[in-house]
Amino acid sequence: MGDFFYRALQPVFSLFWPCKLLGRENIPARGPAVFVSNHLGSYAPVATLAHFPVRLYPWVEHQTTNWKLCPEYLRHDFVEQELHLRPPLSRLVAWSISKACVVLMKLIQAIPVYDRTMRMAATWKRSLKHLQQGRWLAVFPENDAAPWNDVIHRFDQGFVGLGPLYYEKTGQRLSFSPVAVHKTARAIKIGPPIAYDPTNPFSTERERITGDLQNRITEMFFMLGSSPA
């Protein structure tokens, strides 16, 4: 059921979020893999899900899957920041679209992220289940409070923990693929994957992988911006 709705929604989203997709050759022939993208507010997640040829299971803020928490989250992070509405109108709009948001997250089987809480165990468990089934995850880990350069914010590094967890379960190395989304150029570019190396200390791999991903996404973003339309 989830796959049906996912595929049915893709052409709808691609109509309103048109993008050209570059770097298809860097998509693994088979899963699993984790695609790591810049955020651009709501733009990058929707555009990525709309245009990727493989079925993605995105990590999302847990509030977007909760009927009670979603309205306030959307008011602050979307309605007021992106639509530039103010109370009391922002509260009404957020409440209205929150219903569709929660339904959508459930239909596409998005993975709620309970960052820095005991409930994060549910995120790991669900993510590992998908990875062990050869599926692809999508992560948008920018921390809005920590600028890294002129293009992206510093990444929250928690997602790299999937590397050792997956290796422990399967004995195989998990790949993390950089994805750059450029709103003005209306383009998405996928870069070559970066494999987790279990022979290194986790702290070393966490810094290496997030650093390489941030650098590659930044480089691809500038390439997309300088390319002719």
Place of tokens 């973003």: 221
Helix (H) or strand (E) holding 22: strand 20-22
Kindly tell me the burial class for residue 101, based on how many C-beta atoms sit within 10 Å of its own C-beta (0-12, 13-18, 19 or more). buried
Q: Return the pLDDT at 1.
A: 60
Residue type, 6: Y
- Helices (H), ranges, 78-154: 89-107, 120-132
Q: What pLDDT sits at residue 227?
A: 66
CATH assignment of 2-65+109-226, among 3.40.640.10, 3.90.480.20, 3.40.1130.10, 3.30.930.10: 3.40.1130.10
* pLDDT tens per residue, range 86-116: 999 999 999 999 999 999 999 999 999 997 7
Give the sign of the dihedral formed by CA 125, CA 126, CA 132, CA 137: negative
The residues spanned by each domain of the chain are 2-65+109-226
Could you give the CA distance from residue 100 to residue 120 in angstroms, rounded to a whole number?
25
All residues at 6 or more sequence positions from 165 whose CB lies less than 8 Å from its CB, including other chains: 124, 128
- For every residue of 4-17, DSSP letters joined together read HHHHHHHHHHHHHS
pLDDT at res. 134: 96
Helix (H, G, I), strand (E, B) or coil at 55: coil
- Quick: pLDDT tens for 36-50: 999 999 999 999 999
Q: Give the DSSP H/E element, type plus range, for residue 111.
A: strand 111-113
Q: Determine contact, residues 112/123, Cβ cutoff 8 Å.
A: yes
Rounded Cα gap, residues 40 and 191, in angstroms: 18
Q: Are 223 and 189 in contact (CB under 8 A)?
A: yes
* Regions of the chain with pLDDT less than 50: 229
